[in-house]
Amino acid sequence: MHPSPVSAPESVLIPFDELRSLLQQIFERHGTSTNVAAILADNCATAQRDGALSHGIFRIPGYVSTLKSGWVDGKATPIVDDKAPGFIAVDAANGFAQPALMAARNLLIAKARSNGIALLAIRRSHHFAALWPDVEPLARDEGLVAITVVNSMACVVPSGGRSALFGTNPIAFAAPRAGSEPLVFDLATSAIAHGDIQIAARAGHSVPQGYGVDKHGQHTTEPQEILDGGALLPFGGEHGAHKGSALSMMVEVLAAALTGGNFSFEFDMRTHPGAQTPYTGQLIIAIDPSLTSGQNFADRCETLIAAMSDAGQSRLPGTRRYEQRKLSMEHGVPVDVARWRELLQLAEGQ
Ligand code: NDP
Ligand code: PYC
């Protein structure tokens, strides 16, 4: 552990492997199997490494309290059902979504290669993480185009509506590039992720108008008022929230109706005080771009990216993460000192 030269003075720089093994210890200490602990620790350390702070170590207390509450089964064994040439269903058995994905990953890749496309439909699963780690490796390591959606907990008012119904419902996309990191985006369909509203509330920052409403349905820029009985709004702003809302609806249809998981409004965590992880579903679509008719997919992507650059877009989605990843792997992963102490205590079982 070294003082950080590249981040705020109250941070320390932790080697990635050290962070990952501490997180693994925490997960195991608090009730997961070794396999689940390894998968979640890698996922969470990866998010912290890339500066995806709303889903890095910020989430660890929530994972721990959820495991303690009995809301999620940290030792669940996913059941993989090879339903059709292009369709795999996984019952996550009230466990986390990432181990369910890992259990079916090789089958998904094989089916995408033999059919050109394959779907992985996960149900009865808890997803409490960033979504890009679920698709980026399929593009980078397997050369597949991958799209995934997951629904969360009812905290977003549909466009024109009165009460929270949708989750923050992110969509992530990854496509391989020749000689570069994959092209990846990952975005919540709400104006802001729930994790970022919590971070803003904790830091005492206000948020822009149009992100959420208070418990009376009035627009507010105070994150705590959004959290205290208020709700988030779909992304798109005053004149475009119907578009965010439509995408959020699509996520509910694909991640819940199609998979057999819960809609974001269909479960109630209040029966398990401390529970924080949404109990829903996730869909992953994998496409083999080597079957593209006529033209080379990688070349076509480069043509598009060059045209975007010519048009003035200098920053691709994913670039910020790749840059932070490089820094983290060179110097260590920035972790707030107070949070690092908390992690050390949690690893001791406190
Ligand atoms: P952001 O708004 O921060 O970023 C969305 C995407 O836009 C990213 O791919 C980002 O790339 C890209 N981007 C950001 N700024 C620019 C720019 N100026 N030019 C070009 N591209 C840009 O993400 P969200 O707040 O919407 O989501 C945060 C995280 O929360 C996601 O990882 C999401 O999966 C997670 N989440 C998880 C949920 C769950 O149920 N598990 C629910 C909701 C959200 P880059 O990464 O490089 O910044
Ligand atoms: O940040 O919106 C969010 C979120 C919901 C579930 C996990 N993350």
Query: Concatenated DSSP letters for 151-220?
Result: ---S-BPPTT-SS--B----EEEEEEETTEEEEEEEE-SBSS-HHHHHHHHHHT----TTSEE-TTS-EE
| CATH code for the part of the protein at 1-69+318-350 | 1.10.1530.10
In this prediction, what percent of the chain has a pLDDT beyond 90?
93
- Give the CATH architecture of domain 83-191+233-317: 2-Layer Sandwich (3.30)
pLDDT per residue as tens digits for the range 242-252 = 999 999 999 99
Query: What DSSP state is assigned to residue 78?
Result: -
Catalytic residue among 30, 55, 127, 194: 55
56 pLDDT more than 50: yes
102 pLDDT more than 60: yes
**What pLDDT score was predicted for residue 349?**
85
Active site residue 299: no
Mean pLDDT of 20-34: 98
**Counting ligands in written order, which one lies closest to the CA of residue 125?**
1
Domain ranges of the chain: 1-69+318-350, 83-191+233-317
7 pLDDT more than 70: no
- Rounded distance from Cα 333 to ligand 1 centre (Å): 19
Check pocket membership of 318 for ligand 1, CB cut-off 6 A: yes
Active site residue 55: yes
Amino acid at 346: L
Specify the pTM. Answer: 0.97
Atom of ligand 1 nearest to the CA of 190: 26
Task: For residues 298 and 291, give the distance between their C-alpha atoms in angstroms, rounded to a whole number.
Answer: 12
Residues with Cβ within 8 Å of 266's Cβ and at least 6 positions away in sequence, in order, are: 256
Listing DSSP states for 86-129 in one string gives: TEEEEEEEEEEHHHHHHHHHHHHHHHHHHHSEEEEEEEEEE--S
Mean pLDDT of 271-280: 96
Check pocket membership of 259 for ligand 2, CB cut-off 6 A: no
